[in-house]
Structure 1
Amino acid sequence: MKLLCLWHATEAELNLIKEKMPRGTEIVCPEGEYFSRFESTYANLKRHAVDADAFIGFALPEGIPEIAEKLEFLSWLHTGVDDLRRMGVLALAKQRGFKIANARGANAIAVAEQAMMFLLALAKKTVFKNEASRNKRRFFPLFADEYRSAMLHGRTIGIIGVGEIGSHIAKCAKAFDMHVLGIRRNKERQDENVDSMHGMDELHSVLAKCDYVVLAIPSTRETSQVIGKAELAAMKSTAFLVNIARGALVQEKPLHEALTSGRLRGYGADVWPMYDFGRTYPISWVPRLEIQTLPNVTGSIDQAHNADDVFERYLDWGIQNVVEFATGKPLTREVNLDLGY
């Protein structure tokens, strides 16, 4: 079997892959100079891709899957595959019959911790009070609405998407004595830290009960723009919304209106919407309405997964995917090409 690493792997990374792969596996990767070692170009990968049996990597140049006629397996070193869907790779996989596995769960704890950071930062007005501290400002009068922090203790949190990440968020929320409501595609699957599990058809009724709402669902055609004017209207005006998943889940215009009118108390996001060429015009990779500049918004520019242990887990689990495929074992993290995750 020939395995193509899609990034400029270090010697240590290549040795790790060689140690775990079955004997006789040919392992190749791009060589030469690079701008980012986690990606490569069509020109650098072309000669390796044409007869590769499997790919493993973080980025996939346009055109490479199409010329890889022997491709049987792709180990995608991310938790989501919405980028592969946009590139047409999921459709190509269905057409040709090659399998895809991802690294879902590898960053779950890090992202769940980031979600809790957003809850606390919004509730405790961390950014606002940090700036006041830098400027030696004092708050008067005491307990005024604009200065008083919110509490997590005894409040209700709704977790939209109780998968690997959502489950960890629920566990963390319980440590703060929060009441946890969950929404997932199959509401019959319970979670020990979720007090009440619901289906997506109950979204509005769940939103109405929550003091905090965290979005942790995968980005698919069905979930795109799932939070809009009606959903925001269903929420309490005192509630906070946190998006730890994908920017495309939330409609930007209704969100901006809710945040600037007092209809929503605050918003925390690790992700912003991407307006890609061909789907939107003009293109933009930041909010068009500059939501990130609002005083009741806190962001972290896709840094939730940038934490200790995460890269090592991406690599370990990605290699495990390839080993499972090469040895004919069931794929632990196989992507359902119909569901898109």
Structure 2
Amino acid sequence: MKVLCLWHATEEEINYIKKAMPSDTEVVAPEGEHFSRFECTYLDIKHHAVNADAIIGWTIPAGIPEIAEKLKIVSWLHTGVDSLARSGVLALAKQRGVKIANVRGANAIAVAEQAMMFVLALAKKTLLKHQAAQENHLLFPLFGDDHRSAILSGRTIGVIGVGNIGSRIAKRAKGFDMDVIGVRRNKERPVECVDSMHGMDELYMVLEKCDYVVLAIPNTGETFKFFGKDELAAMKPSAFLINIARGTHVQEQPLYEALTSGRLRGYAADVWPWYEFGKYFPAAGVPRLQIQKLPNVIGSNDQSHDADDVLERYIEWGTQNLVEFAAEKPLTREVNLDLGY
């Protein structure tokens, strides 16, 4: 079996994969200089791709799946596979019978902690008070509306999407004595630390009860721009919205209007709206209305997973996918090619 790493893997990483796999496994990776070691080009790997049985990585150069005629499995070192759908890899895999497995849950702890950081940072007006401290400025009068912190204890948080990440957000929210309401596709499946679970058809009812709303829902056709004017109108004006999932979940124009009119107290996001070329004109990788500059908005620019242990867990779980495949075992994290997750 030949495994092709789609990044400039270190010798330690290559040896880790070799050691986990059957003894006759060949593990190869692109060599030479690189700008980012977590990606490669078609020319870097074309000579390896033509006879690779498995590929593992964070990116797939255009044209590689087409020439990898022996390919049997893709171990995708992400949770979401929407980029594979857009590039046609999912369709090609379905046509050829290629298995695709991801590493869903590998960054769940880091992302859940980031979500709670956002909740606290919005509630406690962290940026405002840090800037005041830097300027040696005393916020006055005491308990003024513009600088009084919000409270978590006894308040209600709605977690939209209670999977690997959402369930961990619920657990951490309980540590702050919050009431937790969950919304998920299958509301019959109970989750620890969620006080009540609801289906997507009950979303508006949940939103009107919440002081904090966290979006942790998968990226599918159904969730693309699903949160807009009506959903924002259903929220309390005193509520905060946190998006720890995809920037395209929330419609930017109604969000901007809600944030600038006082209809929404604050917004935090790990990712901004992304206007992809071919779907939008003009294309842009930044918010069109510059929501990131509003005083009641904070963001982390896709950095929630950039934390201790996460890279190692990506490679560990991605390797587990290959080990299971080589042993002809069911893939624990196999992607349903019809559902796209």
TM-score (normalised: structure 2): 0.99
Query: Percent identity among equivalent residues?
Result: 72
For residues 29-72 of structure 1, give each alpha carbon's deviation from its aligned partner in whole angstroms, at most 9, with x where no partner exists. Answer: 11111111111001111111111111001111111111111111
Separation in 1 of the partners of 2:87 and 2:207? 33
2:92 paired residue number: 92
Read off the aligned partner of 1:340 and give its amino acid letter. G
1:326 paired residue number: 326
1:60 paired residue number: 60
2:264 paired residue number: 264
Aligned-residue offset at 1:132: 0.7
For residues 109-155 of structure 1, give each alpha carbon's deviation from its aligned partner in whole angstroms, at most 9, with x where no partner exists. Answer: 11000000000000000001100111111122111111110000000
Separation in 1 of the partners of 2:50 and 2:147? 61
Q: Aligned with 1:13: secondary structure?
A: helix
Separation in 2 of the partners of 1:309 and 1:296? 31
Separation in 2 of the partners of 1:326 and 1:201? 42
Aligned-residue offset at 1:171: 0.2
Q: How does 1:1-341 map to 2 (within 5 A)?
A: 1-341=1-341
Unaligned runs of 5+ in 2: none
Separation in 2 of the partners of 1:123 and 1:42? 47
Separation in 2 of the partners of 1:127 and 1:85? 38
Read off the aligned partner of 1:232 and give its amino acid letter. L
Separation in 2 of the partners of 1:95 and 1:249? 29
Separation in 2 of the partners of 1:35 and 1:335? 30
Separation in 1 of the partners of 2:281 and 2:13? 40
For residues 84-115 of structure 1, give each alpha carbon's deviation from its aligned partner in whole angstroms, at most 9, with x where no partner exists. Answer: 11212112211221111111111101100000
Separation in 2 of the partners of 1:123 and 1:295? 13
Separation in 2 of the partners of 1:90 and 1:180? 36
Separation in 2 of the partners of 1:189 and 1:333? 19
Separation in 2 of the partners of 1:13 and 1:192? 35
Aligned-residue offset at 1:285: 0.7
Separation in 1 of the partners of 2:96 and 2:234? 44
Q: Aligned with 2:4: secondary structure?
A: strand
Separation in 2 of the partners of 1:167 and 1:56? 28
Aligned positions, number: 341
Aligned-residue offset at 1:210: 0.5
Q: Aligned with 1:258: secondary structure?
A: helix
Aligned-residue offset at 1:12: 0.5
Aligned-residue offset at 1:307: 0.3
Aligned-residue offset at 1:226: 1.1
Read off the aligned partner of 1:128 and give its amino acid letter. L
Separation in 2 of the partners of 1:175 and 1:29? 44
Read off the aligned partner of 1:248 and give its amino acid letter. T
Aligned-residue offset at 1:231: 0.4
For residues 147-199 of structure 1, give each alpha carbon's deviation from its aligned partner in whole angstroms, at most 9, with x where no partner exists. Answer: 11000000000000000000000000000010000011111111011000011
Separation in 2 of the partners of 1:95 and 1:210? 44
Separation in 1 of the partners of 2:152 and 2:88? 42
Unaligned runs of 5+ in 1: none
Separation in 2 of the partners of 1:239 and 1:248? 21
Separation in 2 of the partners of 1:200 and 1:127? 33
Separation in 2 of the partners of 1:153 and 1:269? 22
For residues 194-239 of structure 1, give each alpha carbon's deviation from its aligned partner in whole angstroms, at most 9, with x where no partner exists. Answer: 0000111111111111000000011111110010111001111000
